[in-house]
């Protein structure tokens, strides 16, 4: 966590300094209960509170790790503005989140490209909706297409792409809007192991290159360790925070890292937290 700087500000600076000191994201006492199809009340999330520091110019990946169905995606949807908490509040840069907004972009596990648009047109779509001229939008989109390794596929349609390529399109289409938060709900879950590892590497590269914070949901412990700067370990439903784990800064991020003693030690610690909670 970044500690707020001490001292007041003078003149025209207070608002800027207050924004810098405010956490990037805060959840305060967030609980979510919904009505099931059978008419029963289901508690999905219970009293979740945490904050993520504002680190201007520094990309960061925050992972929510927990068993399937525990409520991880529910927390993410509250941050996205797709769900309103039953209790508590969510704040982004000090402002209460009320509904969706361009300052948050979401990538789902399901592929969401428009079948009738090319890769380049899919990535440029958000800019075109905002009235950006076609040429300008396509020039901007091409930079993100190249950044996710799809320059040679810019004129292809989604039906011609592999699963990994489709997710690259989704990531590029989200990044072009420059969101403060990139929200990812198990986006690599349907990919084969090799493609999944490639996408993990791409995401680490993006986090170092883009000035945003990535919130990533997974139930895969190895994936969490490889990606995360910080992991929030969650309990079975209703989701509560078991522990916050700040991971070491690995000197390398490659396939060999996953077999290193340092990696396996962190992996074991997270597994112990998950299984200790199940056994309690």
Task: List, for residues 166-191, the tens digit of each pLDDT value.
Answer: 999 999 999 998 898 999 999 888 78
CATH number at residue 98: 3.40.50.300
Domain count of the fold of the chain: 1
pLDDT in tens, 129-169: 999 999 999 999 999 999 899 999 999 999 999 988 999 99
Look-up of token digits 């997270």: 270
- Closest by CA to 2, choosing from 266, 250, 229, is 229
Domain-located, residue 134: no
Do β-strands 60-65 and 230-234 pair in parallel, antiparallel, or remain unpaired?
parallel
Return d(Cα 142, Cα 139) in angstroms, integer.
5
**For residue 5, is pLDDT > 50?**
no
Residue 209: which domain range?
23-113+161-279
Tokens coding 138 = 């396509």
- Is residue 17 domain-resident? no
Q: Per residue in 27-36, pLDDT tens?
A: 999 999 988 8
Q: Find the Cα–Cα–Cα–Cα dihedral 133, 137, 140, 146, rounded to 10°.
A: -150
Whether 273 maps to a domain, the answer reads yes
Cα separation, 280 vs 267, in Å, equals 20
Residue 140 lies in a domain: no
Residue at 152 is within a domain = no
What single-letter DSSP state applies at residue 3?
A: P
| 212 is a domain residue | yes
39-79: per-residue pLDDT in tens? 889 899 999 999 998 877 777 899 999 988 899 999 999 99
SS3 (DSSP) at 227: helix
| CA 176/CA 216 separation, integer angstroms | 18
CA-closest candidate to residue 244, choices 113, 65, 75: 65
CA–CA distance, 57 with 201 (Å, rounded to integer): 20
CB 105 within 8 A of CB 123: no
In a domain, 18, yes or no: no
Residue showing tokens 């200790």: 276
In a domain, 156, yes or no: no
């Amino acid at each position: 966590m970044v500690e707020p700087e001490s001292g007041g500000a003078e003149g025209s600076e207070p608002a800027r300094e207050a924004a810098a000191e405010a956490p990037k994201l805060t959840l305060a006492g967030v609980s979510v209960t919904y009505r099931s199809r059978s008419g029963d009340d289901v508690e999905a999330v219970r009293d979740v509170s945490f904050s993520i520091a504002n680190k201007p110019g520094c990309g960061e990946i925050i992972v929510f790790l927990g068993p399937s169905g525990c409520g991880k995606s529910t927390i993410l949807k509250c941050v996205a503005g797709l769900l309103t908490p039953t209790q508590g509040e969510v704040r982004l840069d000090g402002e209460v989140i009320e509904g969706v907004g361009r300052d948050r972009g979401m990538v789902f596990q399901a592929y969401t490209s428009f079948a009738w648009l090319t890769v380049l047109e899919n990535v440029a779509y958000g800019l075109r909706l905002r009235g950006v001229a076609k040429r300008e939008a396509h020039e901007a989109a091409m930079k993100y297409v190249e950044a996710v390794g799809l320059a040679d596929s810019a004129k292809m349609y989604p039906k011609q792409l592999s699963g990994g390529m489709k997710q690259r399109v989704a990531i590029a289409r989200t990044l072009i809007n420059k969101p403060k938060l990139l929200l990812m709900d198990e986006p690599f879950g349907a990919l084969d192991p090799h493609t999944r590892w490639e996408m993990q590497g791409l995401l680490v590269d993006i986090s170092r290159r883009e000035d945003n914070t990535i919130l990533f949901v997974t139930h895969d412990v190895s994936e969490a360790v490889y990606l995360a700067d910080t992991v929030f370990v969650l309990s079975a439903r209703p989701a509560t925070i078991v522990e916050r784990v700040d991971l070491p800064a690995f000197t390398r991020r490659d396939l060999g890292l996953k077999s290193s003693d340092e990696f396996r030690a962190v992996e074991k610690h997270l597994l112990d937290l998950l299984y200790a909670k199940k056994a309690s």
